[in-house]
């Protein structure tokens, strides 16, 4: 087994909102009454159904309640167990699903404040991602600016499947704000279900949604690259979270091949797609969609021509690996250090910032 | 270097190209608005007859959405995969360090010079009254 290195950064942890009522203290009077009088109880997305195997490793599944809803469990099962110095919380709660941008904004603000009070204030190793009401770019920018005052927010979080391709220029004020404030954009698997979760329509089974996440990531990467996001924002990093990455060489071959023939359609793409991915895009480690054979995996790393692309993640509490086998077999100690320490620190500049001790006992 | 007489200038008016083989090399001569260019007619990617492709301008951009379109008719697109090549230098735009096709200097010389030599004019009768397109190989 490849042992984790102490002091790493876990870039993909999922604290769960137990219930919509958990957010009530963080809503204003109007929205608190709306939630209560409308009888809203929870925001359940199809992405990670509570009882689905992917949603929680069996040994991480609590006796009651949602997987990932207990800070003590997260400490014992992830932070302590893998000896990390820092864990980045990416809350996946269905706040992006609602069609009212005003309600989505209220829920996002509540979710971000909940994360601060219920998790970041209670556990000094934790950092957070800012969840934004993507339907309104203006409100998203305002929420980024509000939360960014707290240096423990280290990233902006978006879902891989939203209303439009993420490269579309309407979204660019979000990217400008993120770049200006030293926040990478994290793009996590999942959908707001405003569009079918596959590019060919609605499937019948959960497995279709989950497998299709990888194609959604590819489509978004293409959009971000060809629309010129990284020509306008060369310092902006984007992190693909729970995307898988073993598809990268064949995907990049295809993108590069066609870019060479139709370069003149998008002349602002003045570097090859591979170069853009190497400089601006990062991937969380889990899940690893490859055989457990070191030779095959190392060949894959050779194809990617970079040891800076991967960031350590457990994807806690999602079920991606067994026991302590969070790192693939047969990778060098040097690569372990890169994945667990160097790459996350190079990606998230805010991890270097000192954080005032606000921890509540 | 051997200088090859290709054709009288009148036979290659602007907008035309002439294909020929010199020393077993496929070569194309272009007249673009009165200026002559010679390129090896073989794409360095997979060997297509590069010079049969369309001529377009050079699209560049300093900001997404803004396109500066210059040098109209000076960029050759390979008919197989659409790669762009600079007709002046033979360099590709998608991977200029790795892929280029050979560009040959082409000049117009008066018949009085050409008659004197040292020119190769294989099947061409040269007269002092005309100007000639000459390629250096």
What ipTM, to 2 d.p.? 0.89
Taking residues B94-108, report their average pLDDT: 94
Helix-helix angle A206-227:A248-261, to 10 degrees: 40
Q: Do the chains contact at B59 and A232, CB–CB below 8 Å? A: no
> Residue A47: pLDDT band by 50, 70, 90 thresholds?
confident
B59 touches chain A (CB under 8 A): yes
Report the residue of chain B nearest A263, measured CA to CA.
B94
pLDDT, tens digit (0-9, with 9 covering 90-100), for A97-133: 999 999 999 999 999 999 999 999 999 999 999 999 9
**pLDDT score, position B42:** 97
- Tell me the pairing of strands A185-191 and A238-241: parallel
Residue B119: its pLDDT value, please?
77
pLDDT of amino acid B129 = 78
For the ranges A46-60, A212-226, A305-319, B87-101, the lowest mean pLDDT is seen at A46-60
Q: Say if CB A90 and CB A240 are below 8 A apart.
A: no
Instruction: Kindly state the average pLDDT of the residues B110-117.
Output: 82
Is the pTM higher than 0.95? no
Distance from CA of A183 to the nearest CA of B (A): 22
User: Residue A345: which H helix or E strand, with range?
Assistant: helix A343-347
The shortest CB-CB distance from B82 to any of A261, A267, A272 is to: A261
Nearest CB among A169, A231, A260 relative to B94 is that of A260
Cβ within 8 Å, pair A268-B56:
no
Cα A65 to Cα A89: distance, rounded to the nearest angstrom: 19
Q: What is the mean pLDDT of residues B61-67?
A: 96
Supply the pLDDT for residue B123: 67
**Residue B125 pLDDT > 80, yes or no?**
no
Quick one: average pLDDT of A255-268? 96
Residues 6+ apart with CB under 8 A from B97: none
Residue range A329-352: mean pLDDT, rounded: 96
Q: Does residue B2 surpass a pLDDT of 80?
A: yes
- Cβ-Cβ contacts under 8 Å for A199 (sequence gap 6 or more): A212, A215, A216, A219
Element (H, E) at A256: helix A248-261
**Residues facing residue B92 across a β-bridge:** B85
The answer to whether the Cα torsion of A177, A182, A185, A188 is positive or negative is negative
Q: What is the pLDDT of residue B28?
A: 97
Element (H, E) at A112: helix A101-115
Choose from A260, A263, A270 for mutation: most chain B CBs within 10 A. Answer: A260
Lowest mean pLDDT among A13-17, A116-120, B128-132: B128-132
Residue B22's beta-bridge partner residues? B25
pLDDT (tens digit per residue) in A61-99 = 999 999 999 999 999 999 999 999 999 999 999 999 999
| Mean pLDDT for the stretch of residues A286-307 | 91
DSSP state of A268: T
pLDDT of B122 over the 80 cut: no
Residue B36 predicted with pLDDT over 90: yes
With contacts defined as CB-CB under 8 Å, which chain B residues touch A169?
Answer: 64-65
C-beta atoms of A262 and B82 within 8 A: yes
> Which residue in A261, A267, A272 is closest to B60 by CB distance?
A267
- pLDDT number for residue B76: 98
pLDDT at A57: 95
DSSP annotation of B92 reads B
Residue B112 predicted with pLDDT over 90: no
CA distance A221 to chain B (A): 16
- Which among A227, A232, A261 is the nearest to B81, CB-wise? A261
State the pLDDT at residue A356. Answer: 60
Buried b (16+ CB within 10 A) or exposed e, A277-301: bbebbbbbbbbbeeeeeeeebeebb
pLDDT at A358 over 70: no
Cβ-Cβ contacts under 8 Å, B66 against chain A: 268
Q: Which of residues 79-108 of B touch A (CB under 8 A)?
A: 81-84, 93-95
pLDDT of residue A361: 47
CA–CA gap between residue B50 and residue B79 (Å, rounded):
6
Contacts of B56 in chain A (CB under 8 A): 264
pLDDT at A157 over 90: yes
Give the nearest partner residue to B94 out of A169, A263, A268, using CB atoms.
A263
Closest chain B residue by Cα to residue A228: B64
Q: In angstroms, rounded to a whole number, what is the distance separating the alpha carbons of residues A321 and B87?
A: 55
Sheet containing strand B106-110, edge to edge, reads B106-110, B131-136, B3-8, B119-120
Q: Which residue of B has its CA nearest to A271?
A: B94
pLDDT average, residue stretch A28-47? 93
Beta-carbon contacts below 8 Å between A and B: 45
Residues of A in contact with B95 (CB under 8 A): 260, 272
Q: Name the least confident of A238-242, B60-64, B74-78, B125-129.
A: B125-129
What integer best gives the mean pLDDT of chain B? 92
Query: Which of chain B's residues have a Cβ under 8 Å away from the Cβ of A268?
Result: 61-66
pLDDT of the residue at B126: 77
Task: Please say if the pLDDT value at position A208 is more than 80.
Answer: yes
Q: Kindly determine whether residue B61 and residue A260, on different chains, have CB atoms separated by under 8 Å.
A: no
Tokens standing for A304? 């990617």
CA of A182 vs chain B CAs: smallest distance (Å) = 22
Instruction: Tell me whether the omega of the peptide bond preceding residue B118 falls within 30 degrees of 0, making it cis.
Output: yes
Q: Which residue of B has its CA nearest to A268?
A: B61
Q: Indicate the average pLDDT of chain A.
A: 95
How close B96 comes to chain A (CA, Å)?
11
Q: Which residues on A lie below 8 Å from B59 (Cβ)?
A: 263-264, 267
Residues of A in contact with B60 (CB under 8 A): 267, 270
Q: Which two tokens stand for residue B37?
A: 């260019």
Share of chain A above pLDDT 90, in %: 89
| Mean pLDDT value of segment A190-209 | 94
**CA dihedral in degrees (A322, A327, A330, A333; nearest 10)?**
-150
Report the residue from B64, B81, B82 with minimal CB separation from A228. B64
Best of B53, B64, B65, B79 to mutate (most A CBs within 10 Å, chain A): B64
Q: Which of residues 265-294 of A touch B (CB under 8 A)?
A: 267-268, 270, 272
């Amino acid at each position: 087994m490849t042992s984790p290195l102490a002091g790493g950064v876990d870039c993909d942890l999922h604290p769960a909102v137990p219930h919509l009522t958990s957010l009530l203290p963080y809503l204003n009077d109007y929205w608190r009454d709306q939630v209560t009088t409308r009888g809203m109880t929870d925001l359940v997305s199809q992405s990670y159904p509570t009882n689905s195997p992917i949603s929680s490793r069996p040994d991480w599944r609590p006796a009651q309640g949602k997987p990932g809803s207990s800070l003590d469990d997260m400490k014992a099962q992830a932070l302590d167990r893998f000896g990390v110095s820092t864990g980045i919380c990416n809350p996946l709660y269905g706040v992006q699903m609602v069609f009212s941008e005003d309600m989505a904004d209220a829920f996002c603000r509540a979710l971000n404040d909940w994360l601060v009070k219920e998790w970041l204030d209670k556990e000094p190793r934790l950092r957070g991602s800012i969840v934004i009401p993507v339907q309104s770019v203006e409100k998203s920018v305002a929420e980024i600016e509000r939360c960014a005052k707290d240096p423990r927010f280290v990233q902006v979080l978006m879902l891989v499947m939203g209303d439009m391709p993420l490269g579309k220029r309407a979204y660019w004020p979000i990217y400008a704000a993120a770049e200006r404030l030293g926040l990478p954009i994290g793009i996590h698997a999942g959908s707001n279900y405003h569009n079918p979760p596959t590019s060919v329509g609605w499937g019948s089974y959960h497995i279709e949604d989950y497998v299709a996440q990888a194609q959604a990531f590819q489509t978004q990467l293409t959009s971000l690259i060809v629309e010129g996001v990284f020509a306008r924002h060369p310092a902006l990093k984007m992190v693909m979270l729970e995307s898988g990455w073993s598809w990268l060489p064949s995907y990049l071959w295809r993108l590069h091949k066609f870019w060479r023939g139709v370069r003149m359609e998008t002349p602002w793409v003045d570097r090859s797609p591979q170069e853009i991915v190497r400089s601006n895009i990062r991937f969380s480690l889990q899940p690893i969609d490859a055989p457990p054979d070191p030779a095959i995996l190392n060949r894959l790393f050779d194809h990617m021509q970079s040891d800076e692309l991967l960031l350590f993640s457990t994807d806690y509490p999602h079920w991606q690996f067994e026991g302590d086998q969070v790192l693939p077999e047969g990778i060098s100690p040097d690569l372990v250090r890169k994945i667990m320490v160097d790459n996350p620190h190079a990606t998230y500049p805010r991890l270097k910032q000192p954080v005032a001790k606000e921890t509540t006992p | 270097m051997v200088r090859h007489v290709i054709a009288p200038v009148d036979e290659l008016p602007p907008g035309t190209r002439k294909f020929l083989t010199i020393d077993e090399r496929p070569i194309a001569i272009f007249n673009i608005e009165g200026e002559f260019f010679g390129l090896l007619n073989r794409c360095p990617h997979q060997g297509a007859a590069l010079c049969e492709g369309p001529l377009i301008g050079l699209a560049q951009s300093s900001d997404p959405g803004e396109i500066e379109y210059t040098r109209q008719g000076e960029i050759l697109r390979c008919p197989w995969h659409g790669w762009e090549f600079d007709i002046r230098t033979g360099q590709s735009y998608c991977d200029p360090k790795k892929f280029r096709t050979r560009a040959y200097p082409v000049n117009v010389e008066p018949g009085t010079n050409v008659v004197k030599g040292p020119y190769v004019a294989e099947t061409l009768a040269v007269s002092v009254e005309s100007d000639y397109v000459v390629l250096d190989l």
